[in-house]
Amino acid sequence: MRYQSTRGDIKKISGAQAIVSGLSSDGGLFVPESFPGISLKTVTELVRESYSSRAAFIMSLFLDDFSIEELSGYTNAAYNAEHQCGFDRGDTAPLHGTDRSTFFLELWHGPTCAFKDMALQVMPKLLTASLEKTGEKRDVCILVATSGDTGKAALEGFRNIHGTTIIVFYPHRGVSDVQKLQMVSQDGTNVNVIAVDGNFDDAQTGVKVIFNDEELRTKLSDSGYFLSSANSINWGRLVPQVAYYFSAYCDLIKYGKINIGEKINFCVPTGNFGNILAAYYAERMGLPINKLICASNRNDVLTQFINTGVYDKNRPFYTTVSPSMDILVSSNLERLLFELSDKDGKTVASYMSALAADGFYNVPEAAGAELKRIFASGQCSEEDTSKTIGDIFNRYGYLTDTHTAVAYKVLSDYRAITGDGTTAVVVSTASPFKFCESVLEALGLPHNSSGVELIDALSRATGVPVPAPLAELKSKSPRFCKLVATGGMKKAVLDFLGGR
């Protein structure tokens, strides 16, 4: 399998090269030149496999420059409870059913209690192996802009990995107390965490500017470093995510909830469009999917795009109770645009320059048709997010976080509007204990504590046990307290690497 840029550079590279590079030199993202097909017979065979075998197999279809043994090594180490790191039970990505046709796919049993662990427990291994395969001798410096969960998951994934350093930038006031403490208390000798005075888009733009700074890259190269990304724009982040869509389907078959070949819906709480894009790729590979429902919070730029074909970021930015979805520029949408444009990079490049110049673009009707074929979308207000957490808990005794609640509400609305009762999987992206304050408030539970103390308060009030990695948090103290303006990000990178 070869990879190419979304913006027209026609050079084709290997999976390992795509993972090492992160971004293409024309500013585009790397995408597979085609989608490997998977037959229903193969899906049936995967039903008896463990999560890590399913994941290694799916990844092997995209990464044919890796052997299945290599990939199984990574997925076994990442996902199996018997191994020291990571996931808290044998069942890596379990389904929780609330009624006959509605299931939550819990993707937060990893070390940081958010779905990003699914990719970031594997991606560092893919990256270091890719460095070896491509003959890269320099150390890699990973730059991450995070809206909260990516930062911690990347820090955990890269912590103490030889030949790598990692710098995480997070928006000063855009993450929860728990997320912040998780990051600033990170241990490891190769890590750095910096607050940016701005929102997530400012941090992300700042990182992109650094990536495109040729002078800086040369300077770093002279001191033995090169820059790469662990954001979901890196192919190594996306490819492990395709696996859990197949795995969820296999589990529905395994437990007799659907028949092989039956189509299902997925509803995905969406921010940077990485998670739902992986679902789209799974569909293109042949996974029986009827609709992919894109769930937005109050920042509903994607919902508007799916409904109208117009992407317009000229709109207010809201800080919400589901901060990992507070995004105006959804990076991974570019990969979908590439498919919607019949893999014509020039068209994608023109959308991206219109977005940069005017803040909006619109896709022609033909592209809109493919969008409508497979995607549906909806938006959930702040008030409804809270109400939904309460409704699900009162009705089913099941506790969800704010992001997952957005998706559940959007699915309910979608079903009410369309009458489509297809078996649906709500992708559950974080443990409710990562967003304690909002969850307690949603349940109408008074609390007079703050920060990490709320974790115990939520557990006491609901009887739901705290995941181990979050229970440990209260004994941790902050290591990192630097705050920079967006203009100061470049200097922060130089200072950190220069001092090593």
Ligand X SMILES: *Cc1c(COP(=O)(O)O)cnc(C)c1O
User: Which residues would be at the binding site for ligand X (CB under 6 A)?
Assistant: 114-116, 149, 232, 269-275, 324-325, 403, 429-430
Number of Cβ atoms within 10 Å of the Cβ of 140 = 24
Residues 6 or more apart from 215 whose CB is under 8 A from it?
none
Nearer Cβ to ligand X, position 21 or 150? 150
Nearer Cβ to ligand X, position 29 or 129? 29
Question: Does residue 387 carry a catalytic annotation?
Answer: no
Nearer Cβ to ligand X, position 59 or 131? 59
- Amino acid identity of residue 314, one-letter, is N
Q: Which of 260, 263, 242 is nearest to 250 (CA)?
A: 260
- Amino acid identity of residue 375, one-letter, is F
The DSSP secondary structure of 223-271, one letter per residue, reads TTEEEEE-STTSHHHHHHHHHHHHHHHHHHHHTTSS-TT--EEEEEE-S
Tell me how far, at minimum, the Cβ of 431 lies from ligand X, in Å. Answer: 9
DSSP letter at 25?
T
CB-based contact 218:41 (threshold 8 Å): no
- Amino acid identity of residue 377, one-letter, is S
Beta strands in 322-445 (DSSP E): 360-362, 375-379, 424-428
368-404 burial, b at 16+ Cβ within 10 Å, e below that, comes to: beebeebbbbbbbebebbbebbbbbbeeeebbbbbbb
Angle between helices 382-396 and 402-418 (to 10 degrees): 90
**Angle subtended at Cα 336 by Cα 155 and Cα 141, rounded to the nearest 5 degrees:** 25
Residues 6 or more apart from 16 whose CB is under 8 A from it?
63, 65, 66, 129, 130, 133, 134
Alpha-carbon separation of residue 188 from 161, 167, 225, 480 (angstroms): 9, 12, 19, 12
Tell me how far, at minimum, the Cβ of 163 lies from ligand X, in Å. Answer: 26
CB-based contact 268:427 (threshold 8 Å): yes
Tell me how far, at minimum, the Cβ of 325 lies from ligand X, in Å. Answer: 5
- Amino acid identity of residue 382, one-letter, is E
Sign of CA dihedral 486, 487, 493, 499: negative
Q: Which of 379, 298, 289, 377 is nearest to 333 (CA)?
A: 377
Catalytic residue chosen out of the listed positions 116, 180, 208, 291: 116
- Amino acid identity of residue 23, one-letter, is L
Q: Which of 414, 480, 482 is nearest to 187 (CA)?
A: 480
195-230 burial, b at 16+ Cβ within 10 Å, e below that, comes to: bbebbbbbbbbbbbebbeeeebeeebeeeebbbbbb
Residues 6 or more apart from 92 whose CB is under 8 A from it?
51, 52, 79, 80, 109, 118, 247
What is the set of active-site residues? 116
